[in-house]
Amino acid sequence: MARQHDADVIICGAGPAGHALATLLAPRMRVQVVERRASPGNGPHIGESLPGAAAPLLHRLGVLEHFRLAGHPERGPAIAVWDTETPVWKDAISDPAGPGWYLDRRGFELMLRRRALQAGAGLAQGCRQTRIGRYSGGWQLDTGSTLYRAPVLVDATGRSGGIARQLGLRKTAADPLLCLYSFLASPPNAPDRAMRIQADAHGWWYTVPLPLGRRVLAYHLDTDNPLWRQLKRPAQFLARARQHPLLAECLEGLVPGRMQCRAAGTVLLNVDELHQAGDDFLAIGDALFAFDPISSQGLFHSLASAASAAKAIEAGSADALRDHRREMQAVAEHYLWHWQGTYRGPSRFSRYPFWQRRQQLPGP
């Protein structure tokens, strides 16, 4: 028979969003985080650019000092061949929030995990099969070995949004974006600190130097574009990137490692329909809105949506929850407006399907 464990809040998903929310709530509430994976992964992890605006959120989590000492390098300028074939340079120093960082993403996530545990959150890992249900006092989540119960349930399961899906909530998928990427061994402390972004007919590239002697090279194209099958071969991937002078000049002599791919398109939970799951259900991070990597806003949104949700959960009132949902709705509208503007930029490619299908704002 399953062991029973009562908490005030159950958070599904131990990613940046789940850990941030657990850290903010745990000093005053019994928080249980339930994670599908048995252990944090190892090796490099894509998703490394953190904007300077995240510093106040890290401060609120009580990790800013530790974060600064961990040695994540500051971001360099962004150089983009986007609207036209002429590279445009945006200096990181011009951002009033500061240049931001290129993260050692694994180290960053471990730091957030340690902080959540230190704040008093419980963490159950390796919970592969979870069944969600109701009981008179709120939600129950059955992992097979343990029955967790709490008045509030939070979906922080990332892009899969597994809990919202189980609850039948609808999502809007704006585009079928696929990210093909590889980590390349690169001399540590290489002087080139720039983020390079390159649009082409079928999508867009980016490359940045990472801590620990690595560089990431990524190409974003549509999942239904057969080109990705060719580019799954490291040599072809690199050769195609090198056709662009902006990329070629920093890829000289580098050899790609294993090719990897991830879904990367915009997916938004319909905030207007969240009430259907109940006023005791929230979604944060990518489970609420998974942003296009071109925005470099995913991690910031994970921390910010967790902070907003923490405020609503602590207040425990219908008004506070409504304010939180309104705030999240405004985030989605602002994001979509910018997202569409970004993809309108390279009008020289407007006859290609990749760019054409991003001209319409997605509807629910």
Residue type, 160: S
Instruction: Please give the residues from 187 up to 246 whose contact with ligand FAD meets the rule CB under 6 A.
Output: none
Q: Which stretch, 58-66, 117-125, 131-139, 281-289, contacts ligand FAD (CB under 6 A)? A: 281-289
Instruction: Judge contact between 258 and 182, C-beta under 8 A.
Output: yes
- Does position 298 interact with ligand FAD (CB under 6 A)? The reply is yes
Q: Rounded CA gap, 276 and 297, in Å?
A: 28
Looking at the DSSP assignment, which residues form a beta bridge with residue 79? 89, 196
Percentages of the chain per state (helix, strand, coil), in multiples of 5: 35, 25, 35
Choice from 9, 16, 31, 196 touching ligand FAD (CB under 6 A): 16
SS3 state at 138: strand
Among 92, 302, 332, 336, contact with ligand FAD (rule: CB under 6 A) = 302
Min separation Cβ 285 and ligand FAD, Å: 2
Q: How far is the CB of 309 from ligand FAD (least distance, A)?
A: 12
Q: Which two tokens stand for residue 14?
A: 């131990």
- Nearer of residues 131 and 348 to ligand FAD, judged by Cβ: 131
Span 126-165, contacts to ligand FAD by CB under 6 A: 127, 130, 156-160, 162
Least distance in Å: CB of 337 to ligand FAD?
A: 19
State which of residues 5, 7, 35, 346 lies at the interface with ligand FAD (CB under 6 A): 35
12 burial level (CB within 10 Å; 0-12, 13-18, 19+): buried
**Please, which residue, 104 or 286, has the CB nearer to ligand FAD?**
286
Is the CB of residue 122 less than 8 Å from the CB of residue 110? no
In the complex, minimum distance from the CB of residue 317 to ligand FAD, in angstroms, rounded to a whole number: 25
Buried b (16+ CB within 10 A) or exposed e, 163-194: bbebbebebeebbebbbbbbbbebeeeeeebb
Size of the site for ligand FAD (CB under 6 A): 37
**Which residue among 2, 4, 28, 37 contacts ligand FAD (CB under 6 A)?**
37
Q: Which stretch binds ligand FAD (CB under 6 A): 67-75, 82-90, 245-253, 286-294?
A: 286-294
| Kind and range of the H or E run holding 119 | helix 105-119
Alpha carbon of residue 13 to chain centroid: 13
**Of these, 21, 29, 44, 47, which contacts ligand FAD (CB under 6 A)?**
47
Q: Find the shortest distance in angstroms from Cβ 318 to ligand FAD.
A: 25
- Smallest distance from ligand FAD to CB 351, Å: 26
Which secondary structure element, helix H or strand E, spans residue 171, and what is its range?
strand 171-173
CA distance 294 to 305: 19
117 binds ligand FAD, rule: CB under 6 A: no
Tell me the C-alpha to C-alpha distance, in Å, between residue 19 and each of 11, 35, 123, 138, 250: 9, 11, 10, 22, 35
Interface region with ligand FAD, contact rule CB under 6 A, candidates 46-54, 72-80, 86-94, 114-122: 46-54
State which of residues 132, 293, 324, 358 lies at the interface with ligand FAD (CB under 6 A). Answer: 293
260 binds ligand FAD (CB under 6 A): no
Of residues 283 and 321, the one with the C-beta less far from ligand FAD? 283
Listed residue (95, 41, 112, 102) closest to 306, CA to CA: 112
DSSP letters, 252-288, are: TT--B---EEEE-S-EEE-GGGGGGG-TTEEE-GGGT
Binding stretches for ligand FAD (CB under 6 A): 12-18, 34-37, 46-50, 127, 130, 156-160, 162, 179, 262, 264, 285-287, 293, 296-300, 302
